[in-house]
Chains A and B, each alone.
Chain A
């Protein structure tokens, strides 16, 4: 008797709790029927990583503002993954939270996204910078070769030694687009230009980046484009160390081209006379934010491009070049090249 009493109480609790959960979830889905809620699952970094995650989050905020949503459960939100193993859990939490559209950032997120998307066919997903072929997943990729082409044009127009350099991170399809685009752009201005090319084989080893830059500079390169993540910091460090010993208007000044985001502040320095100057020539930026906003809007209008790969180029403003310290003459050449790419007169190669 005593025992069955306990079981009875236990059952009672289960029923009450179960009903509560049911009521809560049911209520949730009702109230959300109107708003098109969106969520972002970050990869290794946070939403202030100066890179993809931050840019994606800015796009989400911009969408939230335009759709009159608030940050939080019934509007737009982010889930931070501190390690790779958090990513899947975060996707599942986001699905349970009832978000209509969930973004994953970078190739690190795609295996988890693939699996969660398969198990939750009613929720829409978008993957940034990778391709996942599934009905409820849209893949957003970027024509980085186009912005790199423009960077190449700017480099070739600026160099005084007729030698430019490219420092890549790790060989692969993504960095190939930067490599190939830059070379094609530089050669379009001057077919005889010398392009030095070397990889750090790491996205974090700044010391490698610094040594490579030092080697290129001593071989005469005076404009260097780096697409090597954190290793690219070393390229900036080397150029800064050299430029500090020169007059800011010296012919030997070394320029660095920023990548993914506007790297103007990385090029700030004081020349040998103590004058403030800058050596970031241009930055080849990836506008993850505008791509994210674009897909959120499409999805809200019931035009979600499931199972499609959408590539953002110069025309869609998914990639672009920021002027920074480039001369007006250089910038004119860049704009002309941009027009040609947008008109489809130039097709930029994606592999070197």
Chain B
């Protein structure tokens, strides 16, 4: 293989792997910036994957090539509704965030499989007919070298995720809403004293995580697994949480961390087929992503700090 084709391969598989993680880890960032720990991301992704697959199977004939994109919307809406459970439990009813999130995680795959059984009469769905596949971006793909590497055979949802990451960074750090969201995550008392509605802002944070987590699940289902079963989402939600922490509760950081996970995963697989690297026992390639993560965390990062009131329920004094 030529260097060019190796690079193309590594970049495109990194983007495919990272796309759902970027969406979901940014979702987690919104929730935690507002002070609600969301370990339910895994469950939200699962229900988003379920919604996207059902939508895709039902409407593929009507919407044609547009179906997977609308499937993202379906995943977002159902993810939003599902995250409301978490918001009601934690913000309104002041439940423990970890317990509520765990309930979400336990409920999602069971509910998904149950509904698949009710709708289709079997334990997993048929493969979807319209998936994301590979996209080539018009104009950008004609740039010499870079076009071939990044835009000619690439993942559409990944580029959408990168755009969303930049927008989210702007939203959190440069707008009034972002400042308010961060303030209820750091010091809800002070925010309340200044007249902010803590509950409403926290709801907004959790709902944004529901939308983005649902989209993340929909991306997995429509670009990687192509059907829905209990095994569609196994662990991606937790990897996304790790990316959020790794990225220091910053959307751009979360995006970079997700891409890093994707890159190390892709190098481990692609490396096994490359000359020279091929001769390294495969076990070292398989543990490489994890070793790299630890090395990066230890040497390049100081102490990471979560929002101060993250996971702490706010009880308004009356």
B27 to chain A, nearest CB (A): 19
A215 pairs with B269, CB closer than 8 A: yes
Q: How far is the CA of A211 from the CA of B264 in the complex (A)?
A: 12
B197 on the interface (CB 8 Å rule)? no
A250 on the interface (CB 8 Å rule)? no
Q: How far is the CA of A269 from the CA of B60 in the complex (A)?
A: 12
- CB-CB under 8 A from A49, the residues of chain B are 123-124
B127 on the interface (CB 8 Å rule)? yes
Among B78-86, B92-100, B218-226, B297-305, the one that faces the other chain is B218-226
Q: How far is the CA of A337 from the CA of B208 in the complex (A)?
A: 58
B113 to chain A, nearest CB (A): 9
Q: How far is the CA of A212 from the CA of B8 in the complex (A)?
A: 14
Task: Encode contact with A along B246-271: 1 for CB under 8 Å, 0 otherwise.
Answer: 00000000000000000001100110
Q: How far is the CA of A237 from the CA of B220 in the complex (A)?
A: 11
Q: Do A218 and B234 contact each other (CB < 8 Å), given the known contacts A210-B13, A265-B126?
A: no
Main SS of chain A's interface residues? Answer: helix
Nearest B residue to A209 via CB reads: B224
A248 to chain B, nearest CB (A): 15
Q: How far is the CA of A205 from the CA of B289 in the complex (A)?
A: 15
- CB-CB under 8 A from A45, the residues of chain B are 123
**Which chain B residues (273-305) contact chain A, with CB distance < 8 Å?**
273, 282, 286
A193 on the interface (CB 8 Å rule)? no
- CB-CB under 8 A from B269, the residues of chain A are 198, 208, 211-212, 215
Task: Encode contact with A along B224-256: 1 for CB under 8 Å, 0 otherwise.
Answer: 111101011010000000000000000000000
A214 on the interface (CB 8 Å rule)? yes
B20 to chain A, nearest CB (A): 9
Q: How far is the CA of A241 from the CA of B282 in the complex (A)?
A: 27
- CB-CB under 8 A from A294, the residues of chain B are none
A266 on the interface (CB 8 Å rule)? yes
What range describes how many residues of B lie at the interface? 35 or more
**Which chain B residues (1-59) contact chain A, with CB distance < 8 Å?**
1, 5-6, 8-9, 12-13, 16-17
A300 on the interface (CB 8 Å rule)? no
A245 pairs with B134, CB closer than 8 A: yes
Q: How far is the CA of A266 from the CA of B1 in the complex (A)?
A: 29
Q: How far is the CA of A75 from the CA of B170 in the complex (A)?
A: 66
Nearest B residue to A46 via CB reads: B123
A327 on the interface (CB 8 Å rule)? no
B273 pairs with A214, CB closer than 8 A: no
Q: Do A240 and B123 contact each other (CB < 8 Å), given the known contacts A211-B266, A214-B13, A233-B226?
A: no
Q: Do A216 and B223 contact each other (CB < 8 Å), given the known contacts A236-B127, A269-B129?
A: no
Nearest A residue to B267 via CB reads: A211
A234 on the interface (CB 8 Å rule)? yes
B124 pairs with A237, CB closer than 8 A: no
A-B contact pairs, 19 of them (CB 8 A): A48-B123, A198-B269, A204-B231, A207-B17, A208-B265, A210-B13, A215-B13, A215-B269, A216-B273, A219-B1, A230-B225, A230-B231, A233-B226, A237-B224, A240-B131, A241-B223, A266-B226, A268-B129, A269-B129
Interface on A for B, CB 8 Å cutoff?
Answer: 45-46, 48-50, 196, 198-199, 201, 204-208, 210-212, 214-216, 218-219, 230, 233-234, 236-237, 240-242, 244-245, 265-266, 268-270
Interface on B for A, CB 8 Å cutoff?
Answer: 1, 5-6, 8-9, 12-13, 16-17, 117, 121-124, 126-127, 129, 131-134, 220, 223-227, 229, 231-232, 234, 265-266, 269-270, 272-273, 282, 286
